[in-house]
A and B are shown apart, each in its own frame.
Chain A
Amino acid sequence: MSAGAGIPTAAPTWLGRSGAVARARRTPRQSELVIGAALLALILLAALLAGVLAPVDPARQDPAQLLAAPGTPGHPLGTDHLGRDVLSRLLHGARTDLLIGIGAVIAPLVIGTAVGALAGYLGGWVDAVVMRMVDLVFAFPILVLLIALVFVLEPGVVSILVAIAVIDWVAYARLTRAQVLREKDLDYVLAARVGGLTHRRILVRHVLPNVIAQNVVYAVSDVVLIILAVTTLGFLGLGIPPPAADWGQMIADAQPYVGAQWWLAVIPGAAILITGIALSLLGDGLAARIERR
């Protein structure tokens, strides 16, 4: 802006907001949603069709082709130190990690939402007890707690799911409680109360539907965090036991070869990155949609 910078231009700005600017603002948000969803759909499809798409069995070792470079005939992405096909392991790893990521988010989402809603709605000692438990879990670094729990429970898919549920519900509890606290004094909840409805009905039919969308958005982003946590566990040798393919395990296995066969670590790393970006875009896009409503 030049000379007119100091002059208030209320009308044009205001007009612009409702017209062109608002549209321009909406479009990138909308594309976040579309790009995120499309990317995730592709990844999910690849994971689902892993059995069909993978050139060979991900666990099959080919002693003649150890540490083959990408582009080797029969191994488009090369092989690892045991001669296993990297593309096949990548696809099957997508299946493992996405399944665990999505599966692991359900229990914390359900438990945390229910507990947080009760705490926010009932208040009093229920709230106090729940929030102290939440504080307790939040007091530890999540990864440290997760590693300790999985270690104690013995590594395996079930332990990972249980450990994540035990730790991750607090995020949803806190989120839900804050929203319920805000919603419960709004007129429509008061109206439901003057309507003589039971507390259970008010909570389930009136309050929860108005807060659940935020939780679902958070859950989408949470899948990224869980996949990262699971791959970290895999990297530390606490993940999915071999021979099942898992991206974290792949990166861990690639560690000695980072200098010469860098792609062994970069390829699964890129897969984690792209999945993370897809889920984050989807989450942001969904959040923007809810805000606009």
Chain B
Amino acid sequence: MTALLEVSGLQIGLDTGVPLVHDVSLSAAPGELVGVVGESGSGKSLTLRAVAGLLPAGVRVTGGSVRFDSQEVLGASEPNLRALRGGSIGMVFQEPMTALNPTMRVGAQIAEGARAHLGLSRRAADQRASELLERVGIRDAAKRSRLYPHQLSGGLRQRVMIAIALAGSPRLLLCDEPTTALDATVTAQVLELLDELARDLEVAIVLVTHDLGVVSRACHRVVVMYAGRIVEEGTTDAVIRRPAHPYTLALLRAVPTRSTTIDDLVPIPGALPGPGAPLDGCPFAPRCALVEDACRAKAPPLIEVEGRRTACRRSEQLRRPREVVLDR
């Protein structure tokens, strides 16, 4: 499969010169679900926003390229970008309450995108809005499309959000923590929906989350980010079952499952280095159990180990006491 989205060497920094994201490369093919995990501040959301061209004021791309269907997105003109957004790229936000316009009926919000990108008439767009609501699993779609966001539950709102993102028939769906604001049952349903969309509509999905459980359930491939850098990347199976980076392993140990007790959960000591902190060596070195002098001297490059890429020199020595199995 050829990649639909190809991010390579992406660098993001503040206007003042402080770097935030270093040399991030990732790709997504049609029908593929790619997870990007990391704790708050790891640069995962910034990476996603850079792809959509929605970086906040004061933050900009300082290097690298973002290609969509072999076309460069960075620096594209506003009309081109507008055609790309919605028409080719859709985005789902974390908090469906704030990501929906409180003053518009949900059907109108979906129809709006359909009219802008598919050139549908008002009536055809309304029709499509109902169809999309049904597609994302909302029963009684024609009736519910006339409701306002505050009249819907959190799960329904997130489904509406997905329907809005799908309105222009995009081929790439960017999801920024789509399940963080939802409870466990609804999370499962939304992940199932994303999986269906990837399979049935051949949509490429990039899913940013801090929850490894979400990744393990939904994603085919996973990218682990730490302090604005990729530390490990590979198929979900390989990365989750036998992590090759101490950070990934530490993240896994911090995830509660049905069989863990509170004592089994191991917090990661220390904190993320602040942006712009001088880092010569591996960014995880100050918090790593396996650290040695060489780690602090020079940042380890991403190397191929056992069919995945890791930015750890000592992945061979990583003690894996038991196979980590997350609830699926």
Chain A residues with a Cβ under 8 A of chain B: 185-188, 190-198, 201, 205-206, 209-210
**A-binding segment of B8-16, B94-102, B277-285:** B94-102
Total interface residues on B, CB under 8 Å, equals: 33
Beta-carbon contact of A186 and B98 below 8 Å:
yes
Indicate if B161 sits at the interface (CB-CB under 8 A): yes
Indicate if B67 sits at the interface (CB-CB under 8 A): no
Which of chain B's residues 58-107 have a Cβ closer than 8 Å to chain A? 82-87, 89-91, 93-95, 98-104
Beta-carbon contact of A193 and B54 below 8 Å:
yes
In the complex, chain A residues whose CB is within 8 Å of the CB of B167: 195
A187-B93, A187-B95 known; A194-B54 Cβ under 8 A? yes
- Select which of B56, B57, B104, B168 is within 8 A of A195 by beta carbon: B168
Closest to B95 in A: A187
A191-B164, A206-B104 known; A198-B99 Cβ under 8 A? no
Beta-carbon contact of B103 and A209 below 8 Å:
yes
What are 11 of the A-B contact pairs (CB < 8 Å)? A187-B93, A188-B99, A188-B101, A188-B102, A191-B161, A194-B90, A195-B167, A196-B82, A196-B116, A205-B101, A206-B101
Beta-carbon contact of A209 and B104 below 8 Å:
yes
Closest to A213 in B: B103
Assembly CA distance A246 to B99 (angstroms)? 50
Indicate if B52 sits at the interface (CB-CB under 8 A): yes
A195-B164, A195-B168, A196-B86 known; A187-B112 Cβ under 8 A? no
Closest to A196 in B: B86
Closest to A185 in B: B56
Assembly CA distance A187 to B102 (angstroms)? 12
- Select which of B57, B99, B117 is within 8 A of A191 by beta carbon: B99
Assembly CA distance A210 to B52 (angstroms)? 24
Q: How far is the CB of B60 from chain A (nearest CB, A)?
A: 15
In the complex, chain B residues whose CB is within 8 Å of the CB of A187: 93-95, 98-99
A194-B90, A194-B91 known; A188-B98 Cβ under 8 A? yes
Closest to B85 in A: A196
Beta-carbon contact of B113 and A210 below 8 Å:
no
Name, among B52, B91, B95, the residue most crowded by chain A CB atoms within 10 Å (CB to CB). Answer: B91
Q: How far is the CB of A24 from chain B (nearest CB, A)?
A: 24
Beta-carbon contact of A210 and B101 below 8 Å:
yes
Additional A-B contact list (10), CB under 8 Å, known A196-B86, A196-B116, A196-B168:
A185-B57, A190-B91, A192-B101, A194-B91, A196-B117, A197-B113, A201-B116, A206-B104, A209-B101, A209-B103
